[in-house]
């Protein structure tokens, strides 16, 4: 077996994971400590208000990642290069994990502050549910298609639909009056809260980069293993 060559210009440099992981390991404890101690506690929500520094950055990643998946999917449709399909799949996986995280962390917080876990009348909650279902359909479409090229094709289309769902979620509280979910709050934040918020957003983007790199490596290895297994099976 020959080792892989690093001739693909779309491959991330090998040092990326170490760098993203280093930034992540450095920033997460600092940001966690800042989020718990630096910004003032809101009188209306008490300590529960600190969910802002965890739930919202996760939600942002859950909204960006489908856009990256759609961009990669679009590039795959245009070029038919497998690398773009790998990027799309890795981004969609992270988007799915983070979107489920958003739904559950928000619901747990809402069960105290709103008295209910979920509201079927809230545009932000319902649009996020649609995003989760769209991402689930992405994996379902890939899983149910045996032909790899066709699976990548369906995946690219589903990723574009997921990005549309993500954009709808982003604009949901800006276009429709929210029922339970608060509207945009960044402009109303005090300086200490705003600083802590942006730092936590930064830390979660390092987490996204580290996970993305790990997921891309994993998918490349999985495909290489499948390919080699098939080749070895044929030569027997």
Partner 1 sequence: MKDTRTRLSAMMLGGVVLLSLVLSLAAPNALIANPLSAAEYLSLPDHVARERAGALSAEETIQLLADVRQQIRPRNPDLDRVYLAIEHLESLRATQIAQKRVDRLALAVGVGLLLIVAFQLWIFLDQRRQIQSLQRWIAASPGSNDEKRTTVYRGE
Instruction: Tell me which residues touch partner 1 (CB under 8 A).
Output: 1-4, 6, 14, 45-48, 50-51, 54-55, 58, 93-94, 97-98, 100-101, 104-106, 108-109, 111-112, 207, 211, 214-222, 224-225, 228-229, 232, 235-236
Q: How far is CA 46 from CA 42, 109, 125, 213, 231, in A?
A: 5, 12, 23, 37, 61
Smallest gap from residue 149 Cβ to partner 1 (A): 21
Total residues belonging to the chain: 236
**Is the Cβ of residue 12 or residue 164 nearer to partner 1 in the bound state?**
12
CA–centroid distance for 123 within its chain: 20
Which of the 8 DSSP states describes residue 177? -
Q: What sign does the dihedral 128-145-87-233 (CA atoms) show?
A: positive
Smallest gap from residue 43 Cβ to partner 1 (A): 9
Smallest gap from residue 33 Cβ to partner 1 (A): 13
Record the tokens describing residue 86, joined without a space.
């790998």
- What is the per-residue DSSP string for 94-129? HHHHHHHHHHHHHHHHHHHHTS-S--TT-HHHHHHH
**Is the Cβ of residue 186 or residue 232 nearer to partner 1 in the bound state?**
232
Smallest gap from residue 137 Cβ to partner 1 (A): 19
Tell me the C-alpha distance between 88 and 94, whole Å: 10
**Is the Cβ of residue 72 or residue 160 nearer to partner 1 in the bound state?**
72
Tell me the C-alpha distance between 226 and 208, whole Å: 27
Smallest gap from residue 198 Cβ to partner 1 (A): 19
**Is the Cβ of residue 13 or residue 183 nearer to partner 1 in the bound state?**
13
**Is the Cβ of residue 175 or residue 233 nearer to partner 1 in the bound state?**
233
**Is the Cβ of residue 3 or residue 175 nearer to partner 1 in the bound state?**
3
Q: What sign does the dihedral 26-57-98-41 (CA atoms) show?
A: positive
Tell me the C-alpha distance between 125 and 193, whole Å: 24
**17: three-class secondary structure by DSSP:** helix
Smallest gap from residue 30 Cβ to partner 1 (A): 16
């Amino acid at each position: 077996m020959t080792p892989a060559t690093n001739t693909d210009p779309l491959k991330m440099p090998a040092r990326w994971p170490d760098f993203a992981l280093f930034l992540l390991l450095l920033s997460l404890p600092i940001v966690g400590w800042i989020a718990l101690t630096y910004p003032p506690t809101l009188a209306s929500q008490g300590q529960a208000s600190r969910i802002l520094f965890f739930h919202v950055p996760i939600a942002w990643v859950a909204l960006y990642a489908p856009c990256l998946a759609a961009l990669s999917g679009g590039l795959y449709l245009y070029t038919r290069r497998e690398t773009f399909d790998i990027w799309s799949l890795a981004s969609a996986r992270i988007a799915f994990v983070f979107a489920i995280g958003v739904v559950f962390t928000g619901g747990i917080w809402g069960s105290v502050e709103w008295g209910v876990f979920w509201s079927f009348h809230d545009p932000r909650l319902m649009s996020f549910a649609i995003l989760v279902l769209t991402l689930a359909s992405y994996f379902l479409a890939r899983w149910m298609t045996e032909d790899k090229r066709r699976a990548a094709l369906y995946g690219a289309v589903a990723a574009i639909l997921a990005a549309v769902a993500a954009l709808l979620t982003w604009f949901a509280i800006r276009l429709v009056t929210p029922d339970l979910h608060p509207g945009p709050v960044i402009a109303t934040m005090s300086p200490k809260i705003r600083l802590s918020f942006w730092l936590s957003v930064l830390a979660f983007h390092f987490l996204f980069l580290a996970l993305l790199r790990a997921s891309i490596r994993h998918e490349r290895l999985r495909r290489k293993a499948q390919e080699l297994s098939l080749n070895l099976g044929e030569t027997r």
